[in-house]
Amino acid sequence: MIEELAQTLHMSRSTFYTILFGALIISSLLLGFILNRILHHWTRKLRNGWGEYLFEFLESLPIPLLLLSSLYIGLESLPLPTRYEHIGSKLILALVLLVVAYFPAKVLILALRRMSQMNPSLERVTQPTAFLIRTLFALLAIIIFLENLGISLTAVWTTLGVGSVAVALALSETLSNFFSGLYLLADRPVGPGDYIKLDTNQEGYVLRIGWRSTTLRTLGDNYVVIPNSTLAKAVITNFSVPQPRMGFSLQVNVAYGTDPGRVEKVLLEVAQEAMQDHTAGLLSDPAPSVRFIPGFGDSAMSFSLNVQLARYEDQYVVQSDLRKRIVKKFQQEGIEIPFPTRTLVIDQPGKDLLNASRER
């Protein structure tokens, strides 16, 4: 019947079969695209549920499966030229490998995405993990495809084995930063927006944690780029967790002979006045306190005025404001802020030596 239709249209058998084969493939692609759009509609409609992941997985199936079916039917039913049959068989192999490699990877990635939605803290880890899954399954498909084409990979593996050692040595620092970045993303000692300080005295807001380095923004609005390997080994103080507010102690020195109770009263009045004037960053809860700590110094008695700040960087504004208020209040109350002094004790031989030098 097909041969009679080809004769009626005055076409050669090979040309007519080729056209039928092409029409079959195009029809399968169009049908697959239509089914893909329908499934995509249901994916968006069932957002934030297991139905979303089911239809998102299904929407990837129609085009490759229908194309695979059309190729198989065409090769089995139509007497195509040998060259086209060879190309078609290779396409079938490639599509089978695509299905075998892509769809298991898709299932794993969708499962990771679902986990990140249930636990947002895992989101930064699932992204690089999904990339690694795609890469591994793609490499597996390529290896199987090349083996089926008769390409020997023995020389390739040997070259890669020697080359990988050289690359690992050359990129040891880069790989260290990469895996340190994965550790920082998984363990989450710091996060974007946190204000941190390292034991090497670098400090600032965390802007981003990349694959190689972490970027901080200092209070002077400058960027500090720290390699992830350095950050992973550093002792970090995170001033943003468990909450951004923090306690701050301002040390105040007064002269010996001053009544400690009077000093405590004056310092509390200073803190209360600052809160009434709404000094930026100064909190009223918990209330300020004064302690006779660190206590007796070399030339002064030292007190600590303890206040609560909204954020770490507010300490600079609060310190300046409190110090100006303390100086003014102490002057009004007659409380002396002493200069550092030293008492020099001279023994008798020293006195004799000084008297002798004067007589000369």
- More confident site: 359 or 194: 194
CA distances 321 to 93, 279, 281, 288, Å, are 76, 8, 11, 15
* Helix orientation angle between 13-45 and 62-77, rounded to the nearest 10 degrees: 160
3-state secondary structure of 357: helix
| 2.40.128.120, 2.60.320.10, 3.30.70.100, 3.40.50.970: CATH of 246-333 | 3.30.70.100
CA distances 242 to 91, 155, 183, 190, 306, Å, are 57, 55, 20, 11, 20
Do 152-242 and 246-333 fold alike per CATH? no
Q: What is the pLDDT of residue 232?
A: 83
Amino acid, single-letter form, for residue 272: Q
Which range among 69-73, 86-90, 219-223 shows the weakest confidence by mean pLDDT?
86-90
Structure tokens given for 32: 């697959």
Structure tokens given for 12: 């050669």
Q: What is the pLDDT of residues 42-84, one digit of tens each?
A: 777 766 666 666 667 677 777 777 777 777 776 666 665 666 6
Q: What is the pLDDT of residue 306?
A: 92
Q: What is the pLDDT of residue 251?
A: 92
Q: What is the pLDDT of residue 62?
A: 75
Q: What is the pLDDT of residue 171?
A: 58
Q: What is the pLDDT of residue 221?
A: 85
CATH number of 152-242: 2.30.30.60
In this prediction, residues 225-249 reach a mean pLDDT of 86
Report domain extents, the chain. 2-151, 152-242, 246-333
Residue 153 has pLDDT above 70, yes or no: no
d(CA 198, CA 235): 6
Structure tokens given for 24: 């079959």
CA distances 291 to 5, 70, 285, 288, Å, are 104, 85, 17, 10
CB atoms within 10 A of CB 250: 20
**Exposure b/e, 297-317, CB count within 10 A at least 16 = b:** eeebbebbbbbbbeebbbbee
CA distances 277 to 283, 307, 325, 327, Å, are 12, 15, 12, 17
CB burial class (10 A; 0-12, 13-18, 19+) of residue 266? buried
* Helix orientation angle between 123-148 and 172-187, rounded to the nearest 10 degrees: 130
Residue 246 has pLDDT above 80, yes or no: yes
Structure tokens given for 170: 């050359």
For residue 50, which phi and psi values (nearest 5 degrees)?
Answer: -65, -30
Q: What is the pLDDT of residue 121?
A: 56
3-state secondary structure of 204: strand
